[in-house]
Structure 1
Amino acid sequence: MLEQAVFTIILMYLLIVQLFNARLMKPMIEALGRGRVYEQTVKSSWGLSLLLLALVFLFGVPPEAVGLGFAPVEGSMSAWKFFFFTTVLIAVLLAFYLVVKTSPRLRKRLRPYYELEIERLLLPHTDVEAKAWGAVSWTAGVTEEFIFRGVLLYTLSLYIDVSSLMLAFIGGAMFGLAHAYQGVRGILVTGLVGWGLGYLYLAMGVLWPVMVVHALLDLIAGPIHVADSETD
């Protein structure tokens, strides 16, 4: 199948580039600054996603096959239960993000959990950078879920016939490798998160709630290293 070959080549190229970028991320941030890296990340992520979206329609892939539906299939109680659970999770994460954003004391308490060198380099340190991080977070939430959950899991399903749990695990492992620039701990953490998000998506059949969860997880990290005059 042509679509299978094309999607495979693009996804493998992306994975190889991400692994190669693991060595370039630190010098890139030091040379260009966080703002420029944020800008380049947003542009490249949307560019790749729009290309894949165009190919989805070009090859006649049903949008629902890559998660581009609005709600779970009617009559599937299991899918709707996961959908309800995810909406509750979104509400909790949104509330937590608002508290983190407005509480210098909580940010200070969370800071030790974001102390990897790459995290200190990549995460915002000023209010201006924090605003730009918002665009990065929503970009990552939408584009990475479309690429690594929608297109990747669809492509994997063309090769192998496994349970949703195993498919999500394989996709999560590849998602973790795509974050190799975060080091071994980053690969493990993002891989685990990727597995969980992948299973949620497969259980519901729609991507947008998972996109919102992903974006909120990134948004929560945004204010952590922003200096506050009263506590820093």
Structure 2
Amino acid sequence: MLERLIFTAIIGYMLIVQIFNAKLIRPLIETKGRAWVYDQTVKSAWGLTLLIVALIFLFQVPPSEVGLTFAPETGNEQAWQVFFLSCILVAFTLVFYLLVKTSSKLRRALRPYYELDLEKLLLPRTKNEEQAWSAVSVTAGVTEEFIFRGVLLYTISLYIEVPNLTLALIGGALFGMAHAYQGIKGVVTTGVVGFGLGLLYLGMGVLWPVMVLHALLDLIAGPIHVDVKND
């Protein structure tokens, strides 16, 4: 009971903070700069994640219950199929990221998809900022998947027993809400992505492939607006 309440309180706190960030992030970027916002984002995300990891050990939650395992259970053919599909998606996304990094033509083609005012304000504009964004992307991939896929879905399952599809929908909706600072379009987009990643995770019970996939999706956005005048 205590375990359920504490995990719920932490996730609820995170959602509330993220919703309030919708009003704070623009003035923070304008006054403190992107590098400062990136640094604070990385620190706060890892701090919260380490706290939750400590609670998992305290409450003796089996690591496999929150996706902290290397591969699906032996003999679970369906889970292995989803696992191999996820690895293939990771490979394709990695190749696409490398193409974005090396092709100014591809960056120009993708730029219209990253033209929301807040996206243009938040995404890096210089090479140094792009390097800092890489740390943000990796941090988001690891910590957000751990919290919103591993811990959140585990916590929901402590309250209700629902099919994986429903669980992924709930998780995706809450993941979208956590990105309220991106506006309605951002909430919908991240909600859909969260739903898809949730289905992959629930299908195989392993977090690391969706962590890598999430990080790569964020990394792809890094070079889009860097040195625009030179493209």
- Which interval holds the TM-score relative to the shorter structure? over 0.9
The CA distance in 2 between the partners of 1:221 and 1:172, in whole Å, is: 21
User: Counterpart amino acid of 1:60?
Assistant: Q
CA RMSD of aligned residues (A): 0.7
**Residue 155 of structure 2 is aligned to residue 155 of structure 1:** yes
Contact 1:134-1:222 at 8 Å conserved across structures? yes
The CA distance in 1 between the partners of 2:185 and 2:14, in whole Å, is: 21
The CA distance in 1 between the partners of 2:229 and 2:23, in whole Å, is: 34
User: Number of paired residues?
Assistant: 231
In the TM superposition, residue 9 of structure 1 has moved relative to its aligned partner by: 0.6
Q: Write out aligned runs for 1:158-177 (5 A).
A: 158-177=158-177
The CA distance in 1 between the partners of 2:228 and 2:23, in whole Å, is: 31
Cα deviations by residue, 1:118-172 (Å, 9 ceiling, x for unpaired): 1001100001100111100000000000000010000000011100010010000
User: Counterpart amino acid of 2:185?
Assistant: R
Q: TM-score, normalised by structure 2?
A: 0.99
Cα deviations by residue, 1:172-192 (Å, 9 ceiling, x for unpaired): 000000000000000000000
Aligned sequence identity (%)? 66
Deviates more, 1:135-144 or 1:13-22: 13-22
Identify the residue that residue 49 of structure 1 maps to in structure 2. Answer: 49
Identify the residue that residue 15 of structure 1 maps to in structure 2. Answer: 15
Identify the residue that residue 86 of structure 1 maps to in structure 2. Answer: 86
Deviates more, 1:19-28 or 1:134-143: 19-28
Identify the residue that residue 60 of structure 2 maps to in structure 1. Answer: 60
In the TM superposition, residue 229 of structure 1 has moved relative to its aligned partner by: 5.5
Identify the residue that residue 141 of structure 1 maps to in structure 2. Answer: 141
The CA distance in 1 between the partners of 2:53 and 2:134, in whole Å, is: 23
Cα deviations by residue, 1:74-95 (Å, 9 ceiling, x for unpaired): 1011000000001110110000
Identify the residue that residue 188 of structure 1 maps to in structure 2. Answer: 188
Contact 1:104-1:228 at 8 Å conserved across structures? no
Identify the residue that residue 208 of structure 1 maps to in structure 2. Answer: 208
The CA distance in 2 between the partners of 1:75 and 1:22, in whole Å, is: 45
* Unmatched tracts of structure 2, length 5 or more: none
In the TM superposition, residue 5 of structure 1 has moved relative to its aligned partner by: 0.5
* Unmatched tracts of structure 1, length 5 or more: none
The CA distance in 2 between the partners of 1:176 and 1:224, in whole Å, is: 22
Identify the residue that residue 218 of structure 2 maps to in structure 1. Answer: 218
1:22 alignment partner, SS class: helix
The CA distance in 1 between the partners of 2:133 and 2:15, in whole Å, is: 23
User: Counterpart amino acid of 1:185?
Assistant: K
